[in-house]
Amino acid sequence: MKTYRVAILGCRGRGTAAARAYYQHPRTELVALCDLIPERLETLGDELGVAARYDDLDRMIAAEAPDIVAIPTGTEFHYELALRVLEYGIHIDIEKPICTTLAEADEVLAKAAAHNVQVAVHHQGRSGGAHQAVRAAIDAGKIGALRYMQGSGKGYYAGYGLMNIGTHMLNSMLGVAGPVRSVQAQALTDGRPISPADVLPSPSGMGTIAGEHVTTALNFASGITATLLQHRFATMDSTAYMLEIYGSEGRLYWKSGSPWLLPEPHFAPGKSEWQQLAPVVPDHYDPEGPAAVEDYQFADEYVQALDEGRAHECSGHEGRHVLEILMGIFESGAYGRRVELPQQDRDHPLLRWRAEAGLGALEPMPRPYAEWLAAEDRRLGRG
Ligand SMILES: NC(=O)c1ccc[n+]([C@@H]2O[C@H](COP(=O)([O-])OP(=O)(O)OC[C@H]3O[C@@H](n4cnc5c(N)ncnc54)[C@H](O)[C@@H]3O)[C@@H](O)[C@H]2O)c1
């Protein structure tokens, strides 16, 4: 059995998570690290005993010949770095969201196809044990026929929340119900429908966003519907981050790491009880090791996919479809109409909307989220 050689390009938070997963998995070998900041290389290299440390990805690839390069960098760098790595004919594990526009994502997937390699987008929730338990319960008929889903963010400014963790929620919804046919969104800023002046550069380099509170209805090709709530809360609350799945005979409730089943279609206090399900985790995962279980399972799925010559469950195509949904939500919120997917126009719909309104280039905004929020509150006259 082949052992896949893995290199990490970007060694901060998510690079550390990816490195630990590929270090721990028995079928992958962590062969090299790359970062522009020497201390990050040293910290991670020392933790996991990786001697091959680089500040240049081309030199790393030439010297180490990895099978997979993980790209856990800020989102604004995904496009350029993915194209550079794919040019070598190497599989990539790229953090979410795949890119900041559909045109960029199209180019990344075309490059991967041209070199006959795989793209996996790091939506580890979907390959994780709680999601697997939910899927197994659906397949076993525990909730009867699928009817509806409801997902929520945890209180980020909505446009940013969509690009940030909305990607995870949408990818998990795709894992349950398949592709989305159309979206219809209500996007509000300061309690009123967004205007072209509300289009802003995203915090954390996630492209262009709009909307403080966004409520979206999704229509899946399978015929079911879903609601996605991304609403800015006064205080972030991760307990709000959940997916509930409604069937004709029961319901499922998913939080990262934690699946639940209601064996009746409607919750009635005192009459029906939620039952906790066991996450589905492979026997070879050692909880004493450094890897977080969902990142480990993401790596495990990549090993199986490459062994079988197929795409990762969280493939580049799935990641691009998530981006199609996100861009559809922005377009629908802007133009006030339902958007059919996949869209023909691959440019950013919010930039198109602004240009049509005769507005010029976007004013810069701070990159860190807290500073960005403070600037936005000032723009909205909140002091
Ligand atoms: N999957 C998840 O649960 C999850 C959670 C948080 C963030 N994310 C995603 O992860 C990404 C950000 O990850 P992070 O917070 O660890 O990133 P970060 O920006 O804090 O760190 C990225 C690291 O990459 C390095 N880097 C950047 N360009 C490089 C280059 N050309 N060559 C070598 N090194 C380079 C930087 O020096 C930095 O150390 C975003 O896309 C975000 O959406 C995913």
**For ligand 1, atom 36: residue with the closest CA:** 10
Ligand 1 center to 355 CA (angstroms): 31
* pLDDT on residue 231: 98
Is residue 140 within 8 Å of residue 113, measured between CB atoms? no
Q: Return d(Cα 56, Cα 330) in angstroms, integer.
A: 36
Ligand 1 center to 11 CA (angstroms): 7
CATH topology of domain 126-281+291-301+312-383: Dihydrodipicolinate Reductase; domain 2 (3.30.360)
* pLDDT on residue 255: 85
User: CA-CA-CA-CA torsion for 279, 285, 290, 294, nearest 10 degrees?
Assistant: -40
- Please tell me what DSSP assigns to residue 315: B
Q: Scan for tokens 């090299």, then name that residue.
A: 32
Burial class (CB in 10 A: 0-12, 13-18, 19+), 132: buried
Ligand 1 center to 315 CA (angstroms): 19
Q: Return d(Cα 21, Cα 43) in angstroms, integer.
A: 16
Amino acid at 48: L
DSSP string, 176-236: HH--EEEEEEEEEETTEE--GGG-EEPGGG--EE--SEEEEEEEETTS-EEEEEEE--SS-
Q: Return d(Cα 38, Cα 41) in angstroms, integer.
A: 5
| Mutate-to-test residue for ligand 1 from 8, 14, 100, 297, highest number of ligand atoms within 8 A of CB | 14
* pLDDT on residue 335: 98
* pLDDT on residue 102: 98
CATH topology of domain 4-125+302-311: Rossmann fold (3.40.50)
Ligand 1 center to 146 CA (angstroms): 36
Q: Return d(Cα 148, Cα 244) in angstroms, integer.
A: 9
* pLDDT on residue 257: 80
* pLDDT on residue 150: 98
Q: Return d(Cα 167, Cα 161) in angstroms, integer.
A: 9
* pLDDT on residue 221: 98
On the question of a common fold for 4-125+302-311 and 126-281+291-301+312-383, the answer reads no
Given the CA of residue 14, which atom of ligand 1 is nearest to it?
Answer: 16
Taking only the tens of pLDDT, the chain with its 383 residues reads 999 999 999 999 999 999 999 999 999 999 999 999 999 999 999 999 999 999 999 999 999 999 999 999 999 999 999 999 999 999 999 999 999 999 999 999 999 999 999 999 999 999 999 999 999 999 999 999 999 999 999 999 999 999 999 999 999 999 999 999 999 999 999 999 999 999 999 999 999 999 999 999 999 999 999 999 999 999 999 999 999 999 999 999 998 789 999 999 999 998 889 999 999 999 999 999 999 999 999 999 999 999 999 999 999 999 999 999 999 999 999 999 999 999 999 999 999 999 999 998 999 999 999 999 999 999 999 97
* pLDDT on residue 193: 98
Q: Given phi > 0 = left and psi -120 to 50 = alpha, else beta, which region is 25?
A: beta
Q: Return d(Cα 183, Cα 230) in angstroms, integer.
A: 14
Ligand 1 center to 9 CA (angstroms): 9
- Strands 53-54 vs 28-34: parallel, antiparallel or unpaired: parallel
Q: At what angle do helices 167-177 and 129-139 cross, to 10 degrees?
A: 30
| Mutate-to-test residue for ligand 1 from 11, 56, 73, highest number of ligand atoms within 8 A of CB | 73
Neighbours of 300 (CB within 10 A): 20
Domain positions in the chain are 4-125+302-311, 126-281+291-301+312-383
